[in-house]
Amino acid sequence: MTKTPEDLRSHRWFGDPGLRTFGHRSRMRQMGYDPEDWEGRPIIAIINTWSDINPCHAHFRQRAESVKTGILQAGGFPLELPAISLAEQFVKPSAMLYRNLLAMETEELIRSHPIDGVVLMGGCDKTTPGLLMGAISMDVPAIYLPAGPMLRGNWQGKTLGSGSDSWKYWDELRAGQITEEDWQGVERGIARSYGHCMTMGTASTMTAIADALGMTLPGASSIPAADSNHIAMSKMVGRRICEMVWEDLKPSDILREGSVENAITVAMAMGCSTNAIIHLIAIARRAGVEATLEDFDRLSRVVPVIANVRPSGKEYLMEDFFYAGGLPALMTRLTDHLDLAMISVTGRPLGEDIATARVFNDDVIRPIDNPIYAEGALAVLKGNLAPQGCVIKPSACSEKYQNHTGPALVFDDYAELKAQIDRDDLDVTEDSVLVLRNAGPVGGPGMPEWGMLPIPGKLVKAGVRDMLRLSDARMSGTSYGACVLHVAPEAHVGGPLALLKTGDMVTVDIPGRRIHMEVSDEELAQRRAAWTAPEDPYQRGFGKMYMAHVSQAHEGCDFDFLQTAAGAPVPEPKIF
Ligand code: FES
């Protein structure tokens, strides 16, 4: 369908003569605009998550100007609207607590303003799902503009990766292997340009997912933030969104079962962050597509990890991935697993979008028969400890923990863990299973990234660098180790994790996809009868609303009143 100027959504604000539109037009003139600026032109919102405290989006003021240039070149009218920035490192207790707030803000910004199309500017972890979820629910033409990864870190000639090398060198410092001066050198060298984390963490995973869903210009997610191609891409986004408005190409035309499967497939091949599961389920459900933990597990068994990027890979980072051809090149290696008929924001099928892509470095983007991990990035486990499932990243954990039984050492909350973990008399060995509970969607609240529990100090000093860990929290996509996460239902709402006691034997069997506590049903019934719910962490404000409406991890942690029923069309957005 091709739109006429009278069909534009913004026409309601400016088109008809009358007192209401007089008010809008006179106030536009107040800002120095005249009808030539807006008449017959698509009005494009640039929803910008820039802030003074978000280093991942520090270049977004300049990039917004490039987007505006593109919009003006294509005959549109740009309108920049700020949204909550969600800087992962600074927002406490977790940026995840506010992902749904950004989604709601995005939806309401679009609904309440004279907007015909939208450019979504994000990249730092939760901004990608938050912006996409809101735009999908409003279903106006939308393009996602990813921030791009920062440049590789550098210290004493060694390449440093976001997150992963922070944990690694922190353990080396605790073990006395590096000095305080070395540690400060790591601090200076690990984040040396704007852009999001450049390991295959949540940011790189989620922007690749946006790309694979078809919501970015093809390959946009791989361009480093500081590369001049990123500026050029921003202008292209501005031009393309204007065309999409006239073509009436909306998220509902792009997001289908096939595109969601493509995104899961790409996530697996990238060695994705475990957070991908929660966010992609939430994104898909906004579009009325039912994505489940089983879908992730099914595809993880057939799609190998071929992106040799840390933390699943040993050496390379996202900058290397871009030079090797980026996401379109990776997708050329997955064509047997992808639905090439799915269209993207280009309006073309995926098969055409990647037709000219090539791999330039077979060690960074491996051939399918020489993967870095043969069985995919994530495994979903179920059992009496997690009836609704939990996840682990087998590609980032030691071989000895792929099938392991050990005694639980349970911490009831993060404060207790922090107070105890470095005690020299802690009763723990490398065979113990460290457990943190009450850190889930409700109990955290917001599932903080506490799931890579620190190795106890006395074991670190003895050379231990991995242990089996278990929690209802999430972990950073840049983390690694034998960490079982997202246990559902969570302990705070009475999931079986709440009943586990220190000393109970716990089995984690990744090949068998099983998690089990060796406690009889009778004993569990007695413990349940004696269990009382912990106090809610929030008594007022957004936190209270969040706790009342957030779904569990296996359902995507969206609010119950924002999801679209499976198979149903996205509800027509109400305009007042
Ligand atoms: Fe922003 Fe990692 S802190 S992406």
Ligand 1 touching residue 124 (CB < 6 A): yes
> Which atom of ligand 1 is least distant from the CA of 202?
4
Asked whether 239 and 138 are in contact (CB, 8 A), the reply is: no
Atom of ligand 1 nearest to the CA of 54: 1
Average pLDDT over residues 548-556: 96
What angle (nearest 5°) sits at the alpha carbon of residue 280, between those of residues 276 and 284? 175
CB 554, CB 441: distance < 8 Å: no
Q: Taking 80 as the threshold, does the pLDDT of residue 575 lie above it?
A: no
Ligand 1 mean position, distance from CA 454 (Å)? 20
Closest approach atom of ligand 1 to CA 478: 2
Residue 472 pLDDT > 80, yes or no? yes
pLDDT top residue among 402 and 216:
216
What is the pLDDT at residue 332?
Answer: 98
Reported confidence tier of residue 311, pLDDT bands at 50, 70, 90: confident
Query: Is 191 touching ligand 1 by the criterion CB < 6 Å?
Result: no
Residue 28 pLDDT exceeds 70 = yes
Largest separation between any pair of C-alpha atoms in the chain: 79
Ligand 1 atom 1 nearest Cα = 124
Return the best residue to mutate from 125, 164, 207 for the ligand 1 pocket (most ligand atoms within 8 A of CB): 125
Query: CB-based burial of residue 156 (10 Å sphere; 0-12 exposed, 13-18 middle, 19+ buried)?
Result: exposed
At 566 the pLDDT is 82
pLDDT reading at 182 higher than 70: yes
**Atom nearest to 163 CA in ligand 1:** 2
What average pLDDT does range 185-200 have in this prediction? 96
For the chain, domain boundaries: 1-39, 41-151+193-353, 154-189, 381-537
pLDDT of residue 563: 86
Contact present, 287 and 564 (Cβ < 8 Å) = yes
Give 203 Cα–ligand 1 centroid separation in angstroms. 6
Choose among 366, 311, 364: nearest CA to 333: 366
Task: Report the CATH architecture of 41-151+193-353.
Answer: 3-Layer(aba) Sandwich (3.40)
Please report, as a single letter, which amino acid is at residue 242: C
Q: Does domain 381-537 have CATH number 3.30.70.1140?
A: no
- H/E segment holding residue 533: none
CA 197 / ligand 1 centre spacing (Å) = 5
CA-closest residue to ligand 1 atom 3: 88
Spell out the residues 6+ positions from residue 115 whose beta carbon is closer than 8 angstroms to its own.
9, 10, 43, 44, 45, 79, 109, 140
Contacts of 334 (CB under 8 A, 6+ apart): 265, 266, 269, 303, 306, 368
Does residue 436 register a pLDDT over 70?
Answer: yes
Q: Which pair of structure tokens corresponds to residue 547? A: 């706790």
413 in contact with ligand 1, CB cutoff 6 A: no
Question: Pairing relation of β-strands 43-48 and 117-122?
Answer: parallel
Distance 205 CA to ligand 1 centre (A): 11
Helices (H), 392-446: 414-420
Residue length of the chain: 576
Collapse the DSSP code of 198 into the 3-class scheme (helix H, G, I; strand E, B; otherwise coil) and give the result: coil
Q: How far apart are CA 10 and CA 111, in angstroms?
A: 11
Amino acid at 243: E
Q: What is the pLDDT, as a whole number, of residue 565?
A: 81
Question: Please, which pLDDT band fits residue 485 given cuts at 50, 70 and 90?
Answer: very high
Q: From CA 216, how far away is CA 158, in angstroms rounded?
A: 33
Q: What pLDDT is attached to residue 395?
A: 75
Task: Find the 59 Cα to ligand 1 centroid distance in Å.
Answer: 14
Q: Separation of 508 CA from ligand 1 center, angstroms?
A: 30
Cβ of residue 197 lying under 6 Å from some atom of ligand 1: yes
pLDDT tens figures, 515-536: 999 999 999 999 999 999 999 8
Residue 176, number of CB atoms within 10 A of its CB: 9
Note the pLDDT tens digit of each residue in 252-268: 999 999 999 999 999 99
pLDDT band at 164 (very low <50, low <70, confident <90, very high): confident
Residue 576, pLDDT above cutoff 80: no
Beta-carbon count within 10 A of 262 CB: 25
Q: What is the pLDDT of residues 315-364, one digit of tens each?
A: 899 999 999 999 999 999 999 999 999 999 999 999 999 999 999 999 99
| CA 88 / ligand 1 centre spacing (Å) | 5
CA–CA separation, 550 and 531 (whole Å) = 22
Question: Which token pair is 4?
Answer: 């006429």
Helix axes 275-286, 257-270, angle to 10 degrees: 170
Instruction: Please determine, for residue 100, whether its predicted confidence score (pLDDT) is greater than 80.
Output: yes
- The mean per-residue pLDDT over the stretch 417-439 comes to 96
Nearest to 366 by CA among 302, 310, 303, 308: 308
In degrees and rounded to multiples of 5, residue 212 shows phi and psi of: -65, -30
Cα 365 to its chain centre, rounded Å, is 22
- Write the DSSP symbol of residue 324: T
Distance CA 315, CA 301 (A): 24
Element (H, E) at 143: strand 142-146
Q: What is the pLDDT of residue 564?
A: 85
pLDDT at residue 567 in the model: 83
Residue 199: both structure tokens together:
């390991």
Q: How confident is the model at residue 1 (pLDDT cuts 50, 70, 90)?
A: low
Mean pLDDT of the chain: 95
The CB of 268 under 6 Å from ligand 1? The reply is: no
Distance CA 261, CA 215 (A): 14
pLDDT digits (tens, 9 = 90+) for 368-420: 999 998 876 899 999 999 999 999 988 777 888 999 999 999 999 999 999 99
Residue-wise burial string across 67-90, b where 16 or more C-beta atoms lie within 10 A, e elsewhere = bbbbbbebebbbbbebbbbbbbbe
Q: Determine whether 388 is exposed, middle or buried from the number of CB atoms within 10 Å of its CB (0-12, 13-18, 19+).
A: middle
Distance from residue 58's CA to the centre of ligand 1 (Å): 12
For residue 46, list its beta bridge partners.
80, 119
Q: Which atom of ligand 1 is nearest to the CA of 89?
A: 3
8-state DSSP, 305: B
- For ligand 1, the distance from its centroid to the CA atom of residue 96, given in whole angstroms, is 12
